[in-house]
């Protein structure tokens, strides 16, 4: 596992993620396709919000299973989180917000979030 730090654009929100992605996902759900996310999924124990809980605002839609948090200053969404089908809390992380992660160097796979 590699430890990556990441942030929103203005730096108010800072995160830490332990992951070793061999691929990233592009999701076709209504919010990911608009935002242009490339994402990886990590379990809750591999994600840490280092800074910025008070800078985040929550956005929910559809079944309201997922918290689409965004920085109230710069508008960027470094992560979202919610319970998966198995009931476990998990995070999706916008790899474009991670420091030093070469997301162009790994394959991109399609994720059919629109079907969920």
97 contributes a contact to Zn ion by CB under 5 A: no
Question: Least CB distance from residue 21 to Zn ion, whole Å?
Answer: 23
- Beta strand pairing call for 108-111 and 24-27: parallel
* Nearest-approach distance from CB 68 to Zn ion, in angstroms: 15
Determine, following the binding rule CB under 5 A, whether residue 29 of this chain makes contact with Zn ion.
no
Which listed residue (46, 73, 103, 106) binds Zn ion by CB under 5 A? 73
Which residue(s) pair with 47 in the sheet? 17
Give the number of C-alpha atoms closer than 13 A to the C-alpha of residue 73, restricted to the C-beta side.
11
| Beta carbon nearer to Zn ion, 21 or 78 | 78
Contact 80, 37 (CB under 8 A): no
Closest CA to 78 of 1, 28, 23, 4: 4
How far does Cα 65 stand from its chain's mean position? 14
Cβ 105 to Zn ion, closest distance in Å? 26
**Under rule CB under 5 A, residue 74 binds Zn ion:** yes
15 binds Zn ion (CB under 5 A): no
Contact residues toward Zn ion (CB under 5 A) are 8, 10, 12, 71, 73-74
């Amino acid at each position: 596992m590699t430890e990556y730090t990441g942030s929103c654009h203005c730096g108010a929100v800072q995160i830490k993620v332990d992951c070793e992605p061999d691929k990233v996902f592009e999701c076709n759900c209504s919010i990911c396709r608009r935002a242009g996310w490339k994402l990886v999924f990590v379990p809750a124990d591999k994600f840490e919000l280092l800074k910025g809980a008070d800078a985040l605002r929550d956005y929910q839609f559809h079944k309201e299973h997922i918290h689409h948090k965004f920085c109230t200053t710069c508008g960027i969404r470094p992560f979202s989180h919610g319970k998966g089908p198995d009931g476990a809390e998990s995070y999706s992380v916008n790899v474009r917000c991670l420091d030093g992660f070469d997301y162009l160097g790994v394959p991109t796979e399609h994720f059919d979030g629109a079907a969920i």
